[in-house]
Amino acid sequence: MPHATGRGRSALAALGASALALAASVLTWASPAAADEAAGGRLDWGVKESFRSYITGPIAEGEVNTGDGASTVGGAYRFHSATGEYDPDAGTASLSYTGWVHFWGHDGELDVTFANPSIEYSGSSGTLYVYVNGTRTDMAALSGPDIGALSGTVSVQGASATLTAGGAQAFAGYYEEGQALDPVGFTADVTAPEPSSEAAETPTEDPTEDAGVSGAILDWGVRASWREYVSGDIAAGNWEATGGARDGGAVFRFTEGSGEAAGGDYSLAFTGTVAFTGTDVDLAIADPTVTAEGGRGVLSAEVGGERVDLVEFEAELGERDGLLIAEAVPTVLTEAAVEVFGGYYQAGDEMDPLTVAVPLGPDAELPALPDLGDEPEPSPESPSPSAIDADEASTESGPGALAWIAPAAALALLAATATVIAIRRRGKAARSEPAESRDEPATAGGPEPNTPEEPSTEGETTKEQ
Ligand code: HEM
């Protein structure tokens, strides 16, 4: 008898299951238009301030590295190149970001990599997932402002984060479930899916094809510790990349490079300005050029109204994948540039590596730049202040932000901000870096955890001074 009842039950269960499956497929079929697609955007999260101090302090005597395009901005880690979906009707988002941060201390007893974070957000709450040493882990419960998009950019800033039970394991039991972590801010540039699969024609850049070259790019981050100084507690500032320059987090890209490249020698002029501002900081690096003869090169730029040689390097351009390219070339500061950085660095000091790439034809694919997406526009109904996004300071332009700098500089900053907004608007329409060019998607799995013995060359290190 129990047998018969069991069979009856399983038959019923089977019927129920197929009914459910049918209902599900109908629901899927009848579901409304697909959600908006995300391409580009950033996630800022400092993990936990006390944890960062502990790692680099006298107890753990360790260090923090970032890599795969992640950078340190104002103490927080910035991950990039959002992909995923945002459903404006449901108020939900599912977004993944790229980059890793590696914590190492106690001579290697502590060795944790947080990588490729992702967000599931619905209404005003959600979950932050992180690959912890390669395993996808739900790290924190988020609670913040309602998710919403303004001018095509989804933004949630200052969401509070509390540790989940799963996330607590990443900290070896030193924190408990419910522990407050640093707040999380994230953005994503979203577009409604195209009804037709016909891709929009992207205009090719300036096809002047004489003896010279055009459409080249220069990637250079200036110096990681400089960016940390500007965005950190001391200078409490930020930077803006405008007029052809783009912010890739750990690197700035200057574009529209043109000039000559022949037989290993090259002379290329790029456009764009990266302006650093903060307490006692007002440095704009504009329209750089790179010139090299016999493999010895110099990068100069317009600084304070004059052209200054900033860094020297040794590199010839090699041909690869339709590009003339010199990649991740080490650079050192020139004598002339010492005063540009207020005398904090000496001639010969290592600065960030640079990459020059010259496309040889219209189909050549330039190296991908981490895509931070557009700056979130401040929303009038929810100002969503962010303690961790240094970039926000410029768009806030309140008296608090401006009181730090001299009135003339304040005016310049206001003018620059206006220009930035105008340029960003145009930039959004003509975004030339599609999401496909980014590194492997986070959903494909965790990254290879890097070992402290072999720090990745692309990584950046933060140590306590
Ligand atoms: C040799 C092994 C370790 C030793 C001797 C050690 C020692 C300590 C000590 C003494 C503190 C207290 C610091 C303070 O109160 O200021 C601490 C805090 C902490 N440790 Fe470790 N630890 C070890 C391994 C680890 C590992 C493997 C992790 C995993 C990530 C970890 C995560 C933490 C965290 C999260 C804190 C709290 C930091 C804070 O927010 O103040 N520790 N550890």
The confidence score (pLDDT) of residue 432 equals 37
* d(CA 218, ligand 1 centre) in Å: 41
Q: How far is the CA of 168 from the centre of ligand 1 (A)?
A: 13
Q: Is the CB of 114 under 6 A from ligand 1?
A: no
Task: Please give the span between the terminal C-alpha atoms of the chain, in angstroms, as a whole number.
Answer: 78
pLDDT at residue number 368: 86
Amino acid at 327: E
- pLDDT at position 437, please? 33
Q: Which amino acid residue places its CA nearest to atom 12 of ligand 1? A: 59
Ligand 1 near 171 CB (within 6 A): yes
Residue with the nearest Cα to atom 36 of ligand 1? 174
Q: What is the CA radius of gyration of the chain?
A: 24
pLDDT means per 10 residues in the chain (465 residues)? Answer: 42 47 45 80 97 97 96 94 95 97 98 98 97 96 95 95 96 96 97 66 46 88 95 94 94 94 86 96 96 92 94 91 92 95 94 94 88 76 42 37 43 48 40 35 38 42 51
Distance 165 CA to ligand 1 centre (A): 18
For ligand 1, say whether the CB of 104 is within 6 Å of any of its atoms.
Answer: no
Q: Which atom of ligand 1 is nearest to the CA of 112?
A: 30
| Alpha carbons 316 and 297: distance in angstroms, whole number | 9
CB of 175 within 6 A of ligand 1: the answer is yes
For ligand 1, atom 16, the nearest C-alpha belongs to 54
Question: What pLDDT does residue 459 have?
Answer: 57
Cβ pair 80, 371 in contact under 8 A: yes
Distance (Å) from CA 257 to ligand 1 centroid: 49
For 400, half-sphere exposure in the C-beta direction (CA atoms, 13 angstrom radius) is 6
Is residue 404 in contact with ligand 1, taking CB distance under 6 Å?
no
Ligand 1 close to Cβ of residue 47 (< 6 A): no
Q: Best of 49, 52, 54, 181 to mutate for ligand 1, by most ligand atoms within 8 A of CB?
A: 54
Closest atom of ligand 1 relative to the 48 alpha carbon: 40
Q: Is the shortest distance between the CB of 172 and ligand 1 below 6 Å?
A: yes
- Closest protein CA for atom 41 of ligand 1: 50
pTM of the complete model: 0.67
Q: Please give the pLDDT value at position 208.
A: 41
Is there an atom of ligand 1 within 6 Å of 22 CB?
no
pLDDT at residue 340, as a whole number = 94
Q: What tokens appear for 51 in the block?
A: 């944890």
Residue whose Cα lies nearest atom 34 of ligand 1: it is 174
Q: Which of 97, 65, 183 is nearest to 459 (CA)?
A: 65
For atom 3 of ligand 1, which residue has the closest CA? 106
Q: Is 110 in the pocket of ligand 1 (CB under 6 A)?
A: yes
